[in-house]
Amino acid sequence: MCEWCYKHGAGKKWYLNSKNYLQETADAVGAEEYIFELWKQFEKVYLQKIYGISARGPGYKFDIPIVGKLMHRYINSWFGKEKPLKGRNPRRAEGHPGQVVTLDDAKKILELADPMIRVNCACRHMTRGIKDPCCIAFGALAESVPKLARYVPYRGVDPMHVDEAQDFVEQMQLGGRVNTVWMGPSPYIAALCSCELPECVATKIRTTYDLNALLKGEYVARVDFAKCDGCQSCASRCQFGALTFSDSMNRPFIDQWKCYGCGLCQVSCPQEAISMEDRNELDLLKEVW
């Protein structure tokens, strides 16, 4: 179980604790002011330089002995910062971590969140100038986005009912998107996003620089070779380099150390040969986040 589940999960996954969606929790951490400032300054959060480094990527500086380790630790401290509850700096994304979730857990999240609206993805807007309404904002963020025109879809503010939102994230995943859930700031939960590499900034800096803006999911994928017929439907689905397909054996192989537990390979398999296993039940992986 990840540290956020211990702190904010009430005995279960942190993102399935209904308390983390309440207005009371939002008020306690100053979520409305924080999330508005974060999204208003989103580009600056990832493009700014602090002491000569940025979350976008420190480049060669991470390779410098001792100095690189200190820099890495320093930047990572931004995302998981817990205190002060109010006063965490949104321009450093302090207290704004996320985690990969499976489609099943994404649907459970949507049963807890209210109100919710569909909004343009901040990452895709920043990296490619695309207005793609592929993220779902909750509560305080849902209240803030209408004040920020670039995140409002072309057809206007788009409220969603639970069943509509669940169908939407399912279509996103079938189309190759990874579902991620976000605090803003912790432990308040502000959004569920459906993005992909290379546009997803948090995924990119995690996979490139191991900066913990985004944690691996609660599950890892496993192939049942008795069911697999080698159709290769899963072959190009993994965005994290965890799945390779062997032409000689006509089978996919999953490196569970690299697996982020998104479930893209699972939903693509027509034979239901790929399942998701609880990371916490695997001794070698239960602390690999």
**Is the pLDDT assigned to residue 262 strictly greater than 60?**
yes
pLDDT tens profile 50-100? 444 555 555 666 777 887 788 888 888 889 899 898 889 998 889 999 999
Query: 59 — alpha (psi -120 to 50), left (phi > 0) or beta?
Result: left
More confident of the two residues 90 and 6? 90
**pLDDT tens readout for residues 173-190:** 999 999 999 999 999 999
- Cα–Cα distance, 1 to 287 (Å, whole number): 8
**What is the reported pLDDT for 57?**
55
Mean pLDDT of the chain: 90
63 in helix, strand or coil? helix
- 189 contacts: CB under 8 Å, gap ≥ 6: 15, 20, 21, 109, 113, 138, 181, 182, 183
Residue 274 structural domain? 219-281
For residue 206, what are the contacts with CB-CB under 8 A and spacing of at least 6? Answer: 212, 213, 214
**Residue 75 near residue 69 (C-beta atoms within 8 A):** no
Q: Are residues 148 and 246 in the same domain?
A: no
The reply to whether 176 and 194 lie within a common domain is yes
The per-residue pLDDT for range 129-145, each reduced to its tens digit, is: 889 999 999 999 999 98
Between CA 176 and CA 221 the distance in angstroms is 16
Domain end call among 167, 183, 215: 215
Residue 286 lies in a domain: no
CATH number where 237 lies: 3.30.70.20
**Residue 208: CA count within 13 A, CB half-sphere:** 14
Number of domains the chain is built from: 2
Residue 156 lies in a domain: yes
